[in-house]
Amino acid sequence: MKNVSKALTRTQALVIVAALVIVAVVGVGVFTVFLPSTPSTAKISEVRVGLVEPLSGAYAVFGNEAKMAAELIVEEINSKGGIASLGGAKIRLFVEDSKSTADGARLAAEKLVNVDGVNVLIGAFISAHTLTMLDVTEPKKVVVMADALVDYLTARGFKYIVRLPPKASVHGATSVDFAVAVFQQAGAKIQRPVIVHFDGLFGEVTADGIYTRLRDLGIRPVDRIKYPTDITDMSPIIERIRQANPDIVFVVPYYADSVLFAKAVKSLGLKVQFIAGAGGTGLSDPDSIKAAGDATELMTNTYSYDPFLPTEYNKQLVQRFQSKYGKLPTEAAGIIFYTLWTLKEALELSGKMFPDKPLDGDNLMKALFELDLRSGPAAETYPSGRIKLGPSGDNIYAQAVVLQVQGGKPVLVYPFEKAQTKPLFPRP
């Protein structure tokens, strides 16, 4: 019987619902109006920097190395007093996992931009993943500093993106220039190159870079072989290479496939004078060497960072990285080194140029384009020693280097004027 008194008529119910709706809408309105808007002229206590990296999944090796590097550098910047021109504001790092997928990177960017309110976003190592983040950052004017290499990242009309490392096509061209020089030194010429690459965006673009450079030099590849990124059996690929009978194999792998490739070359006894990688991932980095054993011996790859760069700061940084994490920093860590230091310089400059709104996306971009770094930690960790952005947002002085595995260790062999030792050629 109790229910009788509690019964509602249809009209009453509608009135209640309508009232709820109105209260909710008005409540939110009032809430947003009275919410303290972001203090613009007030003292800036921290600069929020987001980092999206593949921390789990197929590319976790790179993502975790990048994360280590970022934590190391941010700690150093903060312990040296933060950003001086912003009153000693500290950098606060927000790390998110892209799970090695494009939608994971997208979700991570959504969170960093909309919840954590980052001022700058660094990521996402994989170019295709970086592209999915730009939809999120562009409307909010969040500056993206890409550590991904595909050429057209900076050429799709997005305004708030810069990239310091050399583009994928530069990596491709560098590996060709290097190989041509190595053959020349031995009195030989490349005649029958084969290009092998994985089928992702980065693989295609880097292989295009190799192809274009070879074509410009008047060399025609005898075969171009594409394999799926998640390949588990390399033997058909090796067999096809054998049939093409090449004098050199240019290969663009990621991580797991580079290990498979090296092992298959060894176990199937593929005879080829030289194997030159391109693209900074796999083959000649410490993780691949550890995973593939001596199968990677004498293989080379191009990198966006030179861990053996003989500058004072770089030597000391590499040593610190090694003692803390127990491995040599290469591609993923190196890009983060100079990207974060360049960001630091840009923040200092923005604080001087635009004391009112130094963290505004437009102002920060202006400061970035204003920079011409020839000294300091950023320049001392960059292969060419100079960082100056061109109109597209890419470094005009971009340069890639070549590491070769010699005696189970990576050594710098190109450019020759900086090399630690001569490249070993040909393969036995």
Partner 1 sequence: MAEAERFVRKAVNMNRNLFPLLLAALAMVLPFILGLNEYYLFLTTLILLYTSIVVAWQLIGGYGGQLDLGAGAYHGLGAIITGYLMVYHGISGWLGLIVSGLAAAGVAFIIGYPSFRFGIREVWYALSSLALVLILQKIFLLWTDVAGPLERYIPYAAFDPFFMRSGYKAFYYYVSLALLAATFVIVYRVRKGKTGLYLLSIRENEEAAEMLGVDIRKYKLRALMIYSFIAAMTGGIYTSMVGFYHPTLFDSWISIQTVTLAIAGGLGHFWGPPILSVILLSVQEYLRISVGAVVIGLHQVIFGIILVLIILFKPDGIGPLIDSFSKKIGLMKAPLVSR
Q: Which residues bind to partner 1, rule: CB under 8 A?
A: 1, 3-4, 6-10, 13, 17, 20-21, 24-25, 28, 31-32, 55-56, 95-97, 101-103, 106-107, 110-111, 113-115, 128, 131-132, 135-136, 138-139, 199-201, 204, 228-229
Which residue, 12 or 243, has its beta carbon nearer to partner 1? 12
Cα 329 from Cα 350, distance rounded (Å): 30
**Tokens 């040296």 sit at which residue?**
80
Cα 323 from Cα 328, distance rounded (Å): 9
The distance from CA 112 to its chain's CA centroid, rounded to whole angstroms, is: 18
Backbone angle region of 159, left / alpha / beta, with phi > 0 → left and psi within -120 to 50 → alpha: alpha
Minimum CB separation of residue 423 from partner 1 in Å reads 33
Tokens describing residue 316: 């000391």
Minimum CB separation of residue 36 from partner 1 in Å reads 14
Minimum CB separation of residue 178 from partner 1 in Å reads 27
Minimum CB separation of residue 95 from partner 1 in Å reads 6
- Continuous H helices in 35-93: 60-79
Identify the burial level of 36 via C-beta atoms within 10 angstroms of its C-beta, where 0-12 means exposed, 13-18 middle and 19 or more buried: exposed
Minimum CB separation of residue 7 from partner 1 in Å reads 3
**CB atoms near residue 231 (< 10 Å):** 16
Which residue, 205 or 365, has its beta carbon nearer to partner 1? 205
Minimum CB separation of residue 411 from partner 1 in Å reads 33
Which residue, 199 or 294, has its beta carbon nearer to partner 1? 199
Which residue, 205 or 402, has its beta carbon nearer to partner 1? 205
Minimum CB separation of residue 12 from partner 1 in Å reads 9
Which residue, 204 or 370, has its beta carbon nearer to partner 1? 204
SS3 content of the chain, % helix, strand, coil (to 5): 50, 15, 35
Q: Are 199 and 208 in contact (CB under 8 A)?
A: no
Cα 121 from Cα 129, distance rounded (Å): 13
How is residue 336 annotated by DSSP? H
Cα 200 from Cα 229, distance rounded (Å): 7
Minimum CB separation of residue 427 from partner 1 in Å reads 30
- Distances in Å between the Cα of 314 and the Cα atoms of 73, 320, 368, 383 are 12, 10, 22, 11
Which residue, 112 or 292, has its beta carbon nearer to partner 1? 112
Minimum CB separation of residue 131 from partner 1 in Å reads 6
Cα 256 from Cα 250, distance rounded (Å): 17
Please state whether the peptide bond connecting residue 105 to the residue before it is cis, i.e. omega within 30 degrees of 0.
no
- Continuous H helices in 88-167: 102-114, 127-137
Q: Which of 50, 52, 64, 57 is nearest to 94 (CA)?
A: 50
Minimum CB separation of residue 66 from partner 1 in Å reads 14
Cα 32 from Cα 177, distance rounded (Å): 58
Which residue, 113 or 179, has its beta carbon nearer to partner 1? 113
Which residue, 9 or 323, has its beta carbon nearer to partner 1? 9
Which residue, 20 or 396, has its beta carbon nearer to partner 1? 20
**Tokens 């892209």 sit at which residue?**
98
Which residue, 98 or 381, has its beta carbon nearer to partner 1? 98
**CB atoms near residue 113 (< 10 Å):** 19
Which residue, 27 or 87, has its beta carbon nearer to partner 1? 27
Minimum CB separation of residue 94 from partner 1 in Å reads 9
- Would you mind telling me the total number of residues written for the chain in this entry? 428
